[in-house]
Amino acid sequence: MPQLSRDTRHAISFTLNGKATSGHAEPRMLLSDFLVHELGMTSVHVGCEHGVCGACTLRIDGTVSRACLTFAVQVDGKRVDTVESLSPEEGGLSDLQKSFRRNHGLQCGYCTPGILMSLDAYLEENPKPSEAELRDMLSGHLCRCTGYVNIVRAVMEHVGNSP
Amino acid sequence: MSQTQEKYVGQPVERVEDAALLTGSAMFSDHLPTRTGTLHAAILRSPHAHAEIASIDVSAAKAMPGVVEVLTGEDLRDISDPFLIVLREPILQWALAVGKVRYVGEPVVIAIATDRYRAEDALSAIEVAYRTLKPAIDPEEAAAEGAPVVHEDVGSNIVSTRDFVYGDPDAAFAEADRTVKLKISYPRNSHTPIEGFVAAVAYDPATESYDVQSNFQGPYSTHTVISKALRVSSSKLRMRTPNFSGGGFGVKVQVFPYIVLMGLASRVTGRPVKWIEDRLEHLSGATAAPNRIVSIEAAVRNDGTITGFRFDQLDDYGAFLRAPMPGPLYRMHGILTGAYDVKNLSVTNRLLLTNKCPSGMVRGFGGPQMYYAIERLVQRIAVELGLDHYEVIRRNLVPAGVFPYRAAAGALLDSGDYPAALEKAANEGKLEELRKRRDEARAEGRLYGIGYAAIVEPAQSNMGYLSNILPLEERRKNPKGGAVSNATVNIDPLGTVNVTADSIPQGQGHMTVLSQIVADNLGLEPGDIHVNLEHDTAKDAWSIATGNYSSRFTSSTAVAADRAAKKARAKLARIASQTLNVPPENLEFGNGRIYAADNPDNSINLYRVAGSAHWTPGNLPDDMEPGIREIGSWSPPELEPPNDKDQINSSLTYGFVFDFCGVEIDRDTGEVRIDKYVTMHDSGTLLNPKLAEGQVHGAFAWAVGCALYEEFAYGEDGSFLNGTFADYLVPTAWEVPEPQIVHMATPSLVTPLGAKGVGEGNCMSTPVCIANAVCDALGVENVTLPLSPDKVSALIHGEERPPPEGVETPPAPKGASDRVIAGTGEAFVPAAQEAVWDALLDPEKLAAVIPGCHALDRVGENEYRAEVTVGAGPVKGRFKATVILSDMDPPNAATLSGALTGLLGLSEGTGRVTLTPRDGGTALAYDYGIEVSGTVAAVGGRMLEGAARALVRQFFERLASVLGGGPAEAPEADAPAALWWRRLLAALGIRR
């Protein structure tokens, strides 16, 4: 990895939701701050800034990551996907998003993009999780509104494993 | 053409909010645009619970790159006033501490810079000298004579005592078959929204006014507190809130001190200033529900009938009585008898201040504490009388057919049938099967218990309830009551319906419900109604009750919107009646048209009618104003000021909740597992059952957290101990079971829509229901929340036994507590003993050896000062260190004592190191005990222990390296206190 000097804004180029994107950031700038305050990404939500709550979860080269535990300069040359990447090309909501709406799987919606990004990766590997497996995976996210019941319902209905 | 228009109110309509939230386009406060050149703030907070501020030096911070201004409490004192409070006591709080700090996390200095990172950098260069004072932490000790006083000008930590008597409690107790007593202690906790506070304020010197963007949630009675603190009239304080907020739960009223702080920062710097709270700031310094100690007694007959209650409530509000405190005591006042028909009642309310974070609104707002006392007591009554708990509840309920029912302390219970609700819950929730399940589990020797709780859930607070804290003569002069709500229905020139309102939503789906209400009134689809709930005090209707709290939406803003829509409908009907030649009262609305009830073919498009109010106002009926912009305002007449007997109808509507549950306790670990949970709700008419159910699930989940995990923990010295989500444990999907929800709908008699509140009931019923089940399972008299495994284990197995013979007992370090890190260890340095000893006394060598050391100076005989950077867990900071060597025995042994002070807190420690020649080198043996406070204490003992071990290891590695030898052999220095724990984990096969 190249040596970066502090107090200097370094050029970063990466692919954000399929589009070539670039900007400048000091080495210490968090990816979460960069996306929100430099690029104006409204889908990125910061909840704890220490990696526990999961609200800022996104994918870096496909790997589920916490934006608050990643420096912006670390994504140089990489692919970053946030919740906008889940929308179908024709617009509107994906099937999983529709299931969240149908099942009232969100209230304030602050934790939702992070949960959707974890689910996006998780369901690729585990397309038919049991409820216990799903709850285990969801335990990496904190939600203070829903009590999780309707999140679980939304996903189980989506994967065709309705209880 | 079908004219029957589907009604949407009462249907599980999908939310109109969701598309923006699911795709990430919804804007929360941090996403809102701010003016170019906006500055960013960071706040230096107190590491002490109680201390005088001896001096503050901000000169180095001010000189740092990007730093625009650094302000202290003394700077603000000249340009602002202390926050208004309900009592006439000298409890003065400014936006920054003045003279003294009174809790860990209290704002002391604000740094304002070009970005948040540079503002935070500046904090590390600010020097604050404190003279620490003994803090008042434990509520009962703080309430006692001789305790350290939080506000010396008040002279006591008890800042208000009020006695209330209703009926004839003395007679009830004298005539009772027996008296059952209990003392409970309810912990300090909070709902911790995932989005923290955000405040951005721009001051305009030309108009001397403040423009605020924040995620404040009301009540807007607080607007007055802010404008008074800023010394401006209310019209010069413009408060704006967005459509979306990342959870509120009451907590976000407490963004108000930061609105004042950022306002003043903007005024001084002449530029807009924005601040984003971080999680440590939120947990340590935002707010908390007050912890409460209640001594409660019931006068009972042998058949279980309760004839009287006596309450003695000591509510701990932390360091200041911030608005709207002491709401938690008085919001529930009218309904102090809960769901029970008890006429005789006496209450003593004592308000206590301690050196903890100031309390504020948190979901449930006084209900969790009050019902914990009542419902635990009812369980005790059943046990002591040998009766069935369910039967004791049933026997004492307010009976059916007596509504509206005036409760002893003044609540006007608007509607319900509590016994029927109980029976419905027992049937649908299969209580009998649960009882069998318990019997079977117990027959197998398992620990299984059933708990119950019955509560009345209030909604829409009476704005006058706090005046009950004032003596009668005083409140007669200025009687307060009511609760005003506002909504506007505006139909634009092309006939699109737009709705604005005063509900300040935080995720409850208010847009959806308002679109349902307005659609039904105008014969449209919810999708036709555009609801914008951004609120702007400069342009939107608001009143003191405006905001999102006390479950007010369904019984206030929703009603105001219904009234506004009815006005719009009446106006449209009058206009249409001219065209259709049908009297307005004979017109119907449906499918976007207005038509004659008896001849649906005689109809006109609604948008055309609305358009004519804009395009051809000359054709309107003579007395009609042009355009269609109708305002609905409402204040229910039932919300009267407290009467001369101190009775207060503290809320407008009263729902009923009855819960029961089965829990099983793991005998080995003390873990409480919720096996089954049934929750019965009569919340009146449900405007949207899907959303109502979501509220129940959310309240239940937090309540499970309160019952089992969540508590703000303080050390004896007032250190705040759980400042991360790894320490303040919030339940995840794994810990929250799905409750069975049973509904009953008895429409409210006092709101036009028949709806009551639904979002707070389980916060009040579930913690005590689970506690009752645990008491039933263990056969213990009482428990204190949260029921963590260690606490429950102690109830099962008693106190921890001493270790078996031959196993070393760890020495108790000085001031032993959770915050003490202790350890011993050995190391080998391949250098002669004299050389090692000399190195330890040589400042240059020592500087090279101490991990993270920037500079080390000798300041006296065997006394050193150093600057070091130390990290522990997620925090890393620069500290000033002092080290003193004593009990010197050259070259064999020395005692090192010292202290670290820095932005992240402070630590004091002592260690002894012994040097012995061995194998051509030197063996060192050492022990240490370190006590920490401040931020470092809040990040958790587990991390600190590891950090201390790593630092000690690094020290000896570097010592060996500096002395030119090979690497030191420094075996891991295990804290003896941790040894038993490791053995336990090993025995359980978890580690090693």
Q: Side-chain half-sphere of B864: how many Cα atoms within 13 Å?
A: 25
Residue B194 has its nearest CB partner, among A104, A144, A151, at A144
Residue A113 has its nearest CB partner, among B24, B247, B278, at B24
Q: Reply yes or no on whether the pLDDT at B967 is more than 60.
A: no
Check whether residue B313 and residue B234 sit in a common domain.
no
pLDDT at A44: 98
Of the candidates B154, B149, B144, the residue with the CA atom closest to the CA atom of residue B134: B149
Q: Are B857 and B880 in contact (CB under 8 A)?
A: no
In a domain, residue B808? The reply is: no
pLDDT at B964: 64
Of the candidates B98, B150, B117, B123, the residue with the CA atom closest to the CA atom of residue B45: B123
Q: Reply yes or no on whether the pLDDT at B816 is more than 60.
A: no
Average pLDDT score over chain B: 92
pLDDT at B883: 83
Say how far apart CA B846 and CA B64 lie, in whole Å: 29
Q: Are B688 and B12 in contact (CB under 8 A)?
A: yes
Check whether residue B183 and residue B257 sit in a common domain.
no
pLDDT at B62: 98
Residues of A in contact with B674 (CB under 8 A): none
Q: Side-chain half-sphere of B631: how many Cα atoms within 13 Å?
A: 10
Dump the DSSP string for B516-575: HHHHHHHT--GGGEEE---EETTTS---TT-SS-TT-GGGTHHHHHHHHHHHHHHHHHHH
Give the tens place of pLDDT for each residue, B398-456: 999 999 999 999 999 999 999 999 999 999 999 999 999 999 999 999 999 999 999 99
Three-class HEC string of B785-809: CCCCHHHHHHHHHCCCCCCCCCCCC
Q: Which of A104-113, B93-102, B797-806 has the lowest mean pLDDT?
A: B797-806
Say how far apart CA B148 and CA B157 lie, in whole Å: 8
Check whether residue B648 and residue B714 sit in a common domain.
yes
Dump the DSSP string for B356-412: SPPP---TTTTHHHHHHHHHHHHHHHHHHHT--HHHHHHHHBPPTT--SEE-TTS-E
Check whether residue B687 and residue B606 sit in a common domain.
no
Of the candidates B77, B26, B35, the residue with the CA atom closest to the CA atom of residue B201: B35
- Contact criterion met (CB < 8 Å) for A52 and B507: no
Q: How many CB atoms neighbour CB B880 within 10 A?
A: 14
Report residue B980's pLDDT band, with 50, 70 and 90 as the boundaries: very low
In a domain, residue B533? The reply is: yes
Q: Give the closest-approach CA distance of A13 to chain B in angstroms.
A: 22
Give the tens place of pLDDT for each residue, B665-686: 999 999 999 999 999 999 999 9
Q: Which of B98-112, B126-140, B508-522, B820-834 has the lowest mean pLDDT?
A: B820-834
pLDDT at B858: 85
Say how far apart CA B454 and CA B654 lie, in whole Å: 13
Domain boundary among B634, B655, B671: B634
Q: Give the closest-approach CA distance of A119 to chain B in angstroms.
A: 13
Say how far apart CA B154 and CA B764 lie, in whole Å: 33
Check whether residue B334 and residue B459 sit in a common domain.
yes
Torsion sign, CA atoms B58, B199, B550, B720: negative
Q: What is the CATH number of the domain that holds B48?
A: 3.90.1170.50
Q: How many CB atoms neighbour CB B981 within 10 A?
A: 11
Q: Side-chain half-sphere of A63: how many Cα atoms within 13 Å?
A: 8
Report residue B984's pLDDT band, with 50, 70 and 90 as the boundaries: very low
The domain locations on chain A are 10-85, 88-159
Q: Reply yes or no on whether the pLDDT at B914 is more than 60.
A: yes
- Contact criterion met (CB < 8 Å) for A45 and B195: yes
User: What would you measure as the largest C-alpha separation in chain B, in angstroms?
Assistant: 115
Number of domains observed in the structure of chain B: 4
In a domain, residue B802? The reply is: no
Q: How many CB atoms neighbour CB B78 within 10 A?
A: 6
Q: Which two tokens stand for residue B355?
A: 């050196």
Chain B residue with CA closest to A53: the answer is B725
Say how far apart CA B959 and CA B922 lie, in whole Å: 11
Chain A residue with CA closest to B33: the answer is A40
Check whether residue B331 and residue B217 sit in a common domain.
no
Check whether residue B120 and residue B160 sit in a common domain.
no
Q: Which of B34-38, B366-370, B730-734, B946-950 has the lowest mean pLDDT?
A: B946-950
**End-to-end CA, chain B:** 77
Q: Give the closest-approach CA distance of B113 to chain A in angstroms.
A: 15
Check whether residue B314 and residue B435 sit in a common domain.
yes
Q: Reply yes or no on whether the pLDDT at B773 is more than 70.
A: yes
Q: Give the closest-approach CA distance of A84 to chain B in angstroms.
A: 6
In a domain, residue B807? The reply is: no
Q: Provide the 8-state DSSP code for A30.
A: B
The number of C-beta contacts closer than 8 angstroms across A and B is 177
Check whether residue B208 and residue B62 sit in a common domain.
yes
Bridge-partner residues for B201, per DSSP? B212, B273
- Contact criterion met (CB < 8 Å) for B730 and A142: yes
Q: Which two tokens stand for residue B239?
A: 């408060």
CATH topology of domain A88-159: DNA polymerase; domain 1 (1.10.150)
SS3 A138: helix
Strands (E), chain A: 10-16, 19-25, 57-60, 63-66, 79-81
Check whether residue B196 and residue B173 sit in a common domain.
no
**End-to-end CA, chain A:** 48
* C-alpha to C-alpha distances, B73 to A152, B58, B101, nearest whole angstrom: 48, 12, 11
Check whether residue B580 and residue B609 sit in a common domain.
yes
Domain boundary among B760, B795, B830: B795
The helix (run of H) or strand (run of E) holding residue B163 is strand B158-166
Q: What's the whole-number mean pLDDT along residues B674-700?
A: 98
Q: What is the CATH number of the domain that holds B654?
A: 3.30.365.10
Say how far apart CA B288 and CA B122 lie, in whole Å: 28
Crossing angle for the helix pair B761-778 and B367-385, to the nearest 10 degrees: 30
Give the tens place of pLDDT for each residue, B115-155: 999 999 999 999 999 999 999 999 999 999 999 999 999 99
Bridge-partner residues for B922, per DSSP? B829, B917
Instruction: Please give the residue range of the domain that contains residue B261.
Output: 32-133+191-285
Domain boundary among B601, B634, B667: B634
CATH topology of domain A10-85: Ubiquitin-like (UB roll) (3.10.20)
pLDDT cut 90: percent of chain B above it: 79
Torsion sign, CA atoms B824, B825, B826, B827: negative
Residues of A in contact with B701 (CB under 8 A): 144, 146-148
Q: Are B712 and B288 in contact (CB under 8 A)?
A: yes
- Contact criterion met (CB < 8 Å) for A135 and B874: no
Give the tens place of pLDDT for each residue, B218-271: 999 999 999 999 999 999 999 999 999 999 999 999 999 999 999 999 999 999
pLDDT at B808: 65
Q: Reply yes or no on whether the pLDDT at B972 is more than 60.
A: no
SS3 B354: coil
Q: Are B43 and B107 in contact (CB under 8 A)?
A: yes
- Contact criterion met (CB < 8 Å) for A48 and B279: yes
Residue A110 has its nearest CB partner, among B15, B65, B246, at B246
- Contact criterion met (CB < 8 Å) for B701 and A83: no
Q: What share of chain A is helix, strand, coil (3-state, %, to 5)?
A: 35, 15, 45
- Contact criterion met (CB < 8 Å) for A108 and B27: no
Q: Give the closest-approach CA distance of A129 to chain B in angstroms.
A: 14
Interface check for A87 against chain B (CB to CB < 8 A): the answer is yes
In a domain, residue B448? The reply is: yes
Say how far apart CA B491 and CA B607 lie, in whole Å: 8
Of the candidates B35, B34, B39, B19, the residue with the CA atom closest to the CA atom of residue B244: B19
- Contact criterion met (CB < 8 Å) for B14 and A101: yes
Say how far apart CA B672 and CA B667 lie, in whole Å: 9
Q: What is the dihedral angle through the alpha carbons of B309, B314, B317, B323, rounded to the nearest 10 degrees?
A: 40
SS3 B602: strand
Q: Give the closest-approach CA distance of B22 to chain A in angstroms.
A: 6
Q: Reply yes or no on whether the pLDDT at B486 is more than 90.
A: yes
Check whether residue B832 and residue B927 sit in a common domain.
yes
Residues of B in contact with A143 (CB under 8 A): 194, 733
Q: Reply yes or no on whether the pLDDT at B892 is more than 80.
A: yes
Q: Reply yes or no on whether the pLDDT at B850 is more than 90.
A: no
Torsion sign, CA atoms B590, B595, B601, B607: negative
Say how far apart CA B366 and CA B362 lie, in whole Å: 8
In a domain, residue B3? The reply is: no
Q: What's the whole-number mean pLDDT along residues B932-957?
A: 75
Say how far apart CA B976 and CA B812 lie, in whole Å: 10
In a domain, residue B96? The reply is: yes
- What is the Rg, in whole angstroms, of the alpha carbon atoms belonging to chain B? 32
- Contact criterion met (CB < 8 Å) for A147 and B726: no
In a domain, residue B471? The reply is: no
Q: Give the closest-approach CA distance of B802 to chain A in angstroms.
A: 36
Q: Reply yes or no on whether the pLDDT at B209 is more than 60.
A: yes
Q: Reply yes or no on whether the pLDDT at B870 is more than 80.
A: no
Residue B195 has its nearest CB partner, among A110, A139, A148, at A110
Q: Reply yes or no on whether the pLDDT at B988 is more than 60.
A: no
- Contact criterion met (CB < 8 Å) for B697 and A136: no
Torsion sign, CA atoms B98, B100, B103, B105: positive
- What is the Rg, in whole angstroms, of the alpha carbon atoms belonging to chain A? 16
